């Protein structure tokens, strides 16, 4: 398969090198286009008011892998690759392997997921791959599973973005693979107030993950499903947060339509009419 790989951890990150080199040794045609430095938590930002530069990089990846380091965001990298650097579209866009989980509402901030989403926006099947730890550094089980999954992605009825999270345990201790819905990961944001050497105040954002609540349920479920079908989905599919804790690889299908469908009709009934002039 012809594959485009990006990430948000940068060109030198171990995760993307492990993924790209593993896929190249399996015979895939791999191209890497990723940020020239750390670009985590950039979401789907794109660069519009300054030039984007891309330089080809040698001696980092497998000899058969052309690789570019890009000055832009993860989404920039995929857009640039698809529109300017590749001579034809890839069969699949991959992003990762990210160092750290992308679970639940993390996907809204994730540069890893956004790079893969850019592929889906162009109608290309895409994978976002994350290792659920900031300290564990064995990316090989994640890369090996991607190799197993890729042939199945090519046979899906329609292009999807699959968000994969791999537990940070030895391959022999992974409990299996499960399809999961997004959970809810709430953070307590902490802004630490500091003073720079010139005496000016600045703030450093940190955060603490709060555990998922059993009462957390998704909103805006498609109204093509009945209430009974919605409840069936809730009971059949656990959340990605819970499944990772249990030692499972999680696979969650994502799309870019954020419309809260159940609220469309309700909102219509509450909107005031536009007044074209003052009433006497």
Q: How confident is the model at residue 26 (pLDDT cuts 50, 70, 90)?
A: very high
Would you call the peptide bond into 97 cis, given omega within 30 degrees of 0 as the criterion? yes
Torsion of CA 34, 39, 45, 51, to 10 degrees: -60
Full domain range(s) for residue 194 = 186-237
pLDDT at 252 over 60: yes
Q: Is the pLDDT of residue 46 over 50?
A: yes
Mean pLDDT computed over every residue of the chain: 89
Same-domain status, 225 and 95: no
- Which CATH number does the domain housing residue 130 bear? 3.40.1210.10
Residues 92 and 228 in one domain: no
pLDDT of residue 203: 85
Is 103 in contact with 183 (CB distance < 8 Å)?
Answer: yes
- 201 and 137 assigned to the same domain: no
Please tell me the predicted confidence (pLDDT) of residue 212: 58
Task: Give the global pTM.
Answer: 0.88
Q: Do 133 and 20 belong to one domain?
A: yes
SS (H, E, C) 122-140: CCCCEEEEEECCCCCCCCH
pLDDT of residue 221: 56
pLDDT at 280: 53
Model confidence at 195, in pLDDT bands (50, 70, 90)? very high
The answer to the question of residue 275 being in a domain is: no
pLDDT recorded at residue 67: 97
Tell me: the pLDDT tens digits for 81-133? 999 999 999 999 999 999 999 999 899 999 999 999 999 999 999 999 999 99
Residue 214 confidence class, pLDDT cut points 50, 70, 90:
very low
pLDDT score recorded for residue 149:
97
**Residues 191, 86 share a domain:** no
Looking at the structure of the chain, the number of domains it has is 2
Q: Is the pLDDT of residue 268 over 70?
A: yes
| Parallel/antiparallel/unpaired status of strands 67-70 and 29-35 | parallel
């Amino acid at each position: 398969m012809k594959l485009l790989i990006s990430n948000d951890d940068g060109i030198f990150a171990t995760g993307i090198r492990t993924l790209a080199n593993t896929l190249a040794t399996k015979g895939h045609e791999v191209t890497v286009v990723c940020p020239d430095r750390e670009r985590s938590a950039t979401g789907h930002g794109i660069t519009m008011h300054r030039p984007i530069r891309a330089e080809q990089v040698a001696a980092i990846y497998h000899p058969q892998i052309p690789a570019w380091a890009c000055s832009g965001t993860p989404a920039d990298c995929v857009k640039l690759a698809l529109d300017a650097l590749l001579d034809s579209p890839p069969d699949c866009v991959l992003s990762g392997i990210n160092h750290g989980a992308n679970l639940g509402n993390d996907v809204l901030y994730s540069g890893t997921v956004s790079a893969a989403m850019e592929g889906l926006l162009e109608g290309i099947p895409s994978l976002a791959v994350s290792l659920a730890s900031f300290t564990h550094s064995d990316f090989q089980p994640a890369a090996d599973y991607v190799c197993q999954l890729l042939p199945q992605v090519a046979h899906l009825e329609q292009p999807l973005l699959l968000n994969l999270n791999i537990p940070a345990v030895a391959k022999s201790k992974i409990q299996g693979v499960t399809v999961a819905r997004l959970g809810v990961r709430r953070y307590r944001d902490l802004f630490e107030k500091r003073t720079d050497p010139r005496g000016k105040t600045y703030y450093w954002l940190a955060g603490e993950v709060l555990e998922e609540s059993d009462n957390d349920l998704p909103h805006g479920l498609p109204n093509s499903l009945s209430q009974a079908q919605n409840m069936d989905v809730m009971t059949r599919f656990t959340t990605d947060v819970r499944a990772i804790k249990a030692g499972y690889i999680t696979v969650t299908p994502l799309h870019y339509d954020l419309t809260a469908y159940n609220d469309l009709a309700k909102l219509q009934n509450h909107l005031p009419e536009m007044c074209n002039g003052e009433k006497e």
